[in-house]
Each structure stands twice: as structure tokens, then as C-alpha cells.
Amino acid sequence: MIEVYPFASYSVAVMGLGKSGLATAEALRAAGAQVWAWDDSEARRAEAKARGFEPVDLMACAWNELTSLVLSPGIPHTHPKPHPVAALAKKHKVEIIGDIELLARCERHASYIGVTGTNGKSTTTALIGHILKKAGKRTQVGGNIGTPVLALDPIHDGIYVLEMSSYQLELTVSLTFDVAVLINISPDHLDRHGGMDGYIAAKKQIFHRQTTPRTAVVGVDDPHSLALHDELVRVGDQHVVAISAARRLDRGVYVEGGILYDAIRGPSEKVGDLEPIPTLPGQHNWQNAAAAYAACRTLGLDRQVILEAMASYPGLPHRQEMVAVAGGLTFVNDSKATNADAAAKALGCYDAIYWIAGGRAKEGGIAALAPLFGRIRRAYLIGESAEAFARTLPAAVSREISGTLEAAVKAAHRDALTDRVTGAVVLLSPAAASFDQFANFEARGDAFRALALALPGAAKPAAATQGGRA
């Protein structure tokens, strides 16, 4: 647990008592702070009370006694409308911060690597952490990737590798990253940021106050990220490294035909082949690998050390995770694909797909996936978006409204066994959020895994890996 000693004896409000909120409350209490904990959910308040916190209704408290409001990143404080507690904090001029801001104020001598992007940030964060640990660096990995930062072990002069969502970046005001990574930008969470400009501005915060020798690693494979890269090169004061998985670069790190090249400080040099790494399949993962390589290389790690560490990367659950095989059929859990752009990465990796999709749709639905529809043998649509997704699919794509994940898995299994297509996969890549039927994408992926393994003749893969044909 991180020691949040600067807040000893101060009264601090914690709004939102999920995993990170409870970790924040416990860290503050351990430091001797007066914790005013609250959540709109009665069940979460009860859980906090069971851990020894007496809930304080932040809608009816003495705000003049508070020094800070630590807000869960999932709670809006600007768009589309501020939560009433956030509005009260602003009215009483109480700072609104997140748990990562607390970490930054307490672990001042540590180094920080921040990773953001619309897609791929969890894989890139985990990959960087894996490489650093393999290289013998004292490293902790957390943030949006799942482990609350205040639950991490203090490492003082070590390296924190943090996945940063746009929400978390807005609540982190004083941290300057030694290496800041922006992988890509595509439309997402637009309601929370007042539109695309607000979303881009939030992502740009990862480069906040960077000066040489700090480094910005920036993807250039989409127009929004390319524009930010060019702006940093033009007006920034940090070292800027471009990364690409789509084209050759005169300067930066890029992947061409699966081969990783380093042109950070001189002529392009081949580093190694990414194709044989089963946990980094496809162009999107090559982009992640290029970003991780660039971040670690700027810290002085040897090229071969980085490449060897990449080869042993175990992958992450819910990201093209092979969870079961049955009669030559592979079941792939890509539940983390909560928008069309993320689902496109998985659809591009396989040739014969029995696709399970749907949930709570994001803006634009699945229209952007049209170039990949030819890979789909049959679609099984679930959740709130089932009818809308069915209308988007062309007549040439067979589909059924399954409604539930259980029905979809059974139907996909039946059809795939009947068709007996070599290399076929049952792919859960929903292109939608999970909240209509599941608590989160992890719960959805866990349910898919359990359903697949419960099928007749199903077994775990001999070696659980992520991904398929690159």
C-alpha cells in the first residue's frame, strides 16, 4: 500500500467506493487522514462500512472542512453533466483529483511511464511492465489496467508503469511522465468530454509539462495522433519518438511485414521478427510492441533484452484470449473489444469467424467494420444492440438474434461443427459495452470462457495464448 503521508490529519472526501475508491480510502486512513467515504450505491456503502468506514453523505456535509475530493474516474465532473457531489466541490473550491494524483504527490522520487490511447493501452502497459521486470528493473504496473495505484507496493526510486484513461488524465494534475505513450486515438467516450475535441484534449494531458530529457512516444497511424505528434515536434520541449505499424519511418520505431525496426536516433536497423510471438498477433499488436519497444529503449534497455522479453510476454485475459478448443474449433475471448475499432483488430486476425457481438452500443455501432464482414461465417447478436447490429450487417452475412451470451455460444458451436471449416473460430468480440447484461467486460469474458469450456468435448488449449493468424 502506498503511504499517502501528505494527507495525514487532513479531511479528505472519497466519492465512489469501487475497487480504486476503497483502496484510496484505506491508504488515506493508514496515513492518518480523516476519510469521508461515500457512494451512491447502498451496497457499496455497506461494503465500506464493513471495512470500518462510516459513510459520510457528501450531499449534506461541511465542505469547508475538506481539503480534497478524490473522485472515481467513472463519475462525471464536467460533461455531460457534473455529478452533484462534483458540483458541490467546485462551488466550495475543493480540489477534485484522482487516486493517481495522490500517488504522484507521495512517490516523488519514482520514475513514471504513462500509457494512453483509445485501444491497445492495456496490452502496451502490461508489455512495458513485463520487459522492465525481465530486465531487472524495480517496477510496479497499475492504473486503468486493473490494479488501483494506491494498492501497489511503494518503490520510491523504481518505475511505475501506469495505464491512463482519459478520465484519469483529467484528474491527475501534477504528475509529469518521464515517458508518455499515446498509441492511437479514435472516437470514444465523447459524451464525457463534450465531443471529439475534448476527448483529444484529455488524451493530450499525458504530455503535460514534459521537457527534455523526458520522452513522448506517439503513434502516427491515425490522423488525430499524427496531428498531436506534429504539434509536439513543432512546439514541444521533450524528445518525441514516432511509432508506426503501417508505414516505414525515417525517424522512430516501426514494424513492416512483422519485422520491428529501430530508427530512433539514426538509420533504420532491424531489431527482430514479431510474427512468431503468439501473444502479439496482428498489426494492432505490432503497434503496441513498437510503442513498448520505444518506451523501453529510451530508458536505455538493450535491443536484444527487449526483444527476448517480448517473446516471453504471456498476454492479457479478454484480449484475443484462446479459452477453449472443441473438435478442432477454437474459442477466442476478446471481451475487451468494447467498440468497433477494437473489434476490427480481432476480426482482421481470422478468416472463418463465428462472431458473437453486441451489448450496449457505442457511437457509430459496427458500420466501420464493413470491410471485414466477409470474414464472418455467421453472426450471433446479443444484448441491447442486437437488432441495430442485425440491420447494419449486409444480407450476405448470415445472422441470428441470440439475445444472450449462453444462447450465442451454443448456436455458434452447433453451426461451426456442422460447417467443419478448417481454422474456424468462435470469436467473442462484442464491439459494444457490457453494462446491459454484465457488470463489466471481465465478467462477460469470464462467462464466455465458462460457457465454452462447458461444451461437449471442450478443453483448455494446450498453451493458452492470445490471437490467431497475424
Evaluate whether 97 touches 172 at the Cβ level (below 8 Å).
yes
Tell me how far apart the alpha carbons of residues 321 and 358 are, in angstroms, rounded to a whole number. Answer: 18
Closest CA relative to residue 97, chosen from 66, 122, 119, 125: 66
Task: Give catalytic residue positions.
Answer: 121, 144, 189
**Going by C-beta distance under 8 Å and a sequence separation of 6 or more, which residues neighbour residue 415?**
354, 377, 378
Q: In the prediction, which pLDDT does 466 show?
A: 45
Q: In the prediction, which pLDDT does 467 show?
A: 44
Tell me how far apart the alpha carbons of residues 55 and 39 are, in angstroms, rounded to a whole number. Answer: 8
398, amino acid identity? S
C-alpha cell at 310: 517480448
Tell me how far apart the alpha carbons of residues 182 and 421 are, in angstroms, rounded to a whole number. Answer: 39
Helix axes 99-106, 19-30, angle to 10 degrees: 40
Using alpha carbons, list the distances in angstroms from residue 318 to 101, 118, 142, 334, 402: 28, 16, 17, 5, 21
Q: In the prediction, which pLDDT does 469 show?
A: 34
Evaluate whether 468 touches 345 at the Cβ level (below 8 Å).
no
- Please identify every stretch of the chain with a pLDDT value under 50, giving residue numbers as ranges: 464-470
Tell me how far apart the alpha carbons of residues 295 and 128 are, in angstroms, rounded to a whole number. Answer: 8
